[in-house]
Structure 1
Amino acid sequence: MHPSELLNPLWTALTTEPDGLGESPFWHPQEQRLYWVDIPGRRIARMAVQGLQAQGPVAYWPLTQEPGCIAPVQGGGLVMALRDGIYLASEWGGPLQLLAAAPYDTAKQRFNDGKCDAQGRFWAGSLYEPKDQPLGALYMLDGQGLHAMVGGEKDGANHGVVTANGLAWSPDGRTAYWADTATHQVRAFDFDATSGHLSHARVFYQATPKPPGWAWGSAAPYGGRPDGAAVDAEGCYWSAQYEGGRLLRIAPSGQVLAEVPTPALCPTMPCFGGADLKTLFITTARHGRSQAELAQYPGAGCVWAMRVEVAGLGVKELRWG
């Protein structure tokens, strides 16, 4: 694949009812279902998928709070990061068990992007809603409780973010990635799989800043800013570029290898699925977008899928109890 190659995707829409802000998709291999959340819609969704075709309607699970991210649980069920804490549900639509209360002011922060690591621990970052200080942090939940791993009370705003996003790990588990959408930056860390410790923070990818006063349709060049992400079997980091209408495939070296145009201006997060993990799914956003933009991108807020040549990494499960 040549550097900065423009791939010509063949996207298929899997849903027709758009989400306000779709996020946190994952492929459940045992169920052959795709799961995701609608944050402002306060609901979790799932649907059976075969190939690039939906197998039946979308099932929705309404919640009383915004779900930032979800992950499967070993043996069945879901773990979810809601505004006021991290919860466990043993079955779809079942009662929620609080695992850890949110360690921040829930009037100003909520959990956002997250997933499980290969050791079965659940990670979730937070979003600081006033968006004027980097007070968001990255937390890890294990059997001993909830720990601030970057930012938060651990080291304050010196290492925190405004909007936590883009969490992912390399295939060998030695590198972790974490983005701050507000600063248009993806960081890489050395990752100690045993302890979960993150060290040697560095800039992995820096997007061009958003021009002042930019709006869709403006002449100012703008490629979007990093949102959710996934990693493929070759170790490349697939980053959704919110407001950029594209995904970037970035090599472990930080070189952009390819860009993939998306059917919505605001892709939010990719994941890999299907029997061979070569189906790439993306969630997208509609909430707060202009009518002019939505006229150009009527599929905004829907879930889309396409086939890719390189398989992705499968979802990791929470190991609890």
Structure 2
Amino acid sequence: MRDLTPDAHEPLPAPASVLGESPLWHPVEQALYWCDIAGFALNRFDPASGQHAHWSFATEVASCAAMRDGGMLLAMRDGLWRFDTRTGERTPLVAAPYDTALERFNDGKCDPQGRFWVGTIYEPRKPALAALYCFSGGTLQRVADDVTVSNGLAWSPDGRTMYWSDTTSHTVFAMDFDGASGQPGPRRVFARFPLKQPEQDLATYGGRPDGAAVDSEGAYWSAMFEGQRLLRLSPAGEVLAELKLPVRCATMPCFGGADLKTLYVTTSREKRPADELARQPLAGRVLAFRVDVPGLPATLFG
């Protein structure tokens, strides 16, 4: 395993999120979007101008996608919405298919054909009642279930493998993917990590798989929540490299910039101990690193 940690990291000049998530490099606007789930906000940063914008809502914004016909698709606790960033107008697409008092949408991403896949988090954690959905053609279809915290969505460069994780069980799954039909095959274990033991010191805990991204070589980058690191895994699930971070809780990476060689990483400060936050002032900020292997461009929805 190689240590990929560069000598320097660059936080974006934007305020810290409470729970930063779902970074998205907009392929048309050449700007970075990300969600602050616990802060009920959507953020946008334009590296060319250095301008940061944010929009506040009445409930959680868990993930987002750029829409082919303009605007942003937002996965919120109460359903999927079209959001016009110019006017601030929000238009409903489909209502939440679950009890919003116990469950909400979580990680979401477009497949190579432009369908939006989004999972849920079952907030009581037990039993494993969260699920994975696919939104296409105005219809939301339940595709898979039996997880607690749906995360880690990504596709291989050829689009024939779909990745999906259950953060609570510390497991990343891989599934054969039929792009024409949009149907994944049976899940298989791609990578599994040791569970955190009672009273285990975080210094000895490697973290659990949260959000993810795939680079142009087919390697799967996983944010290891509470592990203070990203892992780069081969298509066979082997750990190729580790990127150590200055904050305990990374939530998701994405590739951006004109050459897709800037790795943006969202982080969280939600419910973290005061002494940890004092030692890690960048918690909640979006970090940026330069990497050698570019990522894959995000697909527009629709």
**TM-score interval for Structure 1 and Structure 2 normalised by the shorter chain:** over 0.9
**Residue 144 to residue 26, structure 1, CA distance change in 2 (3 Å):** closer
1:226 maps to 2:220? no
Amino acid at match of 2:10: T
Amino acid at match of 1:189: M
Amino acid at match of 1:314: P
Q: Spell out the pairing of 1:1-321 with structure 2 (5 A cutoff).
A: 4-9=1-6, 10-50=8-48, 55-151=49-145, 160-214=146-200, 216=202, 221-319=204-302
Once residues 140 and 92 of structure 1 are traced to their aligned partners in structure 2, the CA distance between those partners, rounded to angstroms, is 27
Say how many residue pairs are matched.
301
- Runs (4+) off by over 6 Å: none
Aligned-residue sequence identity (percent) comes to 51
Partners of 1:76 and 1:91 within 8 A in 2: no
Consecutive unaligned residues of structure 2, counting only runs of 5 or more, are none
Amino acid at match of 2:176: D
Once residues 11 and 239 of structure 1 are traced to their aligned partners in structure 2, the CA distance between those partners, rounded to angstroms, is 18
Once residues 36 and 144 of structure 1 are traced to their aligned partners in structure 2, the CA distance between those partners, rounded to angstroms, is 24
**Residue 92 to residue 140, structure 1, CA distance change in 2 (3 Å):** farther
Q: CA deviation at 1:30?
A: 2.3
Consecutive unaligned residues of structure 1, counting only runs of 5 or more, are 152-159
> Helix, strand or coil for the counterpart of 1:292?
helix
Once residues 90 and 245 of structure 2 are traced to their aligned partners in structure 1, the CA distance between those partners, rounded to angstroms, is 35
Partners of 1:78 and 1:92 within 8 A in 2: no
> Helix, strand or coil for the counterpart of 2:197?
coil
Partners of 1:29 and 1:274 within 8 A in 2: no
Partners of 1:250 and 1:256 within 8 A in 2: yes
Q: Alpha-carbon deviations, 1:235-272, whole Å to 9, x = none?
A: 00000000000000000001000000012110000000
Bigger mean CA deviation after superposition, 35-44 or 75-84: 75-84
- Across the aligned residues of Structure 1 and Structure 2, the Cα RMSD in angstroms comes to 1.2
Partners of 2:5 and 2:242 within 8 A in 1: no
Q: CA deviation at 1:297?
A: 1.2
Q: Normalising to structure 1: TM-score of the pair?
A: 0.91
Q: Alpha-carbon deviations, 1:19-62, whole Å to 9, x = none?
A: 00000001113222110000010000001114xxxx33421100
Q: CA deviation at 1:95?
A: 1.6
Bigger mean CA deviation after superposition, 289-298 or 62-71: 289-298
Amino acid at match of 1:186: V
Once residues 144 and 88 of structure 1 are traced to their aligned partners in structure 2, the CA distance between those partners, rounded to angstroms, is 12
Q: Alpha-carbon deviations, 1:102-151, whole Å to 9, x = none?
A: 11111000000011111111111000000111111010001150000102
Once residues 16 and 78 of structure 1 are traced to their aligned partners in structure 2, the CA distance between those partners, rounded to angstroms, is 20
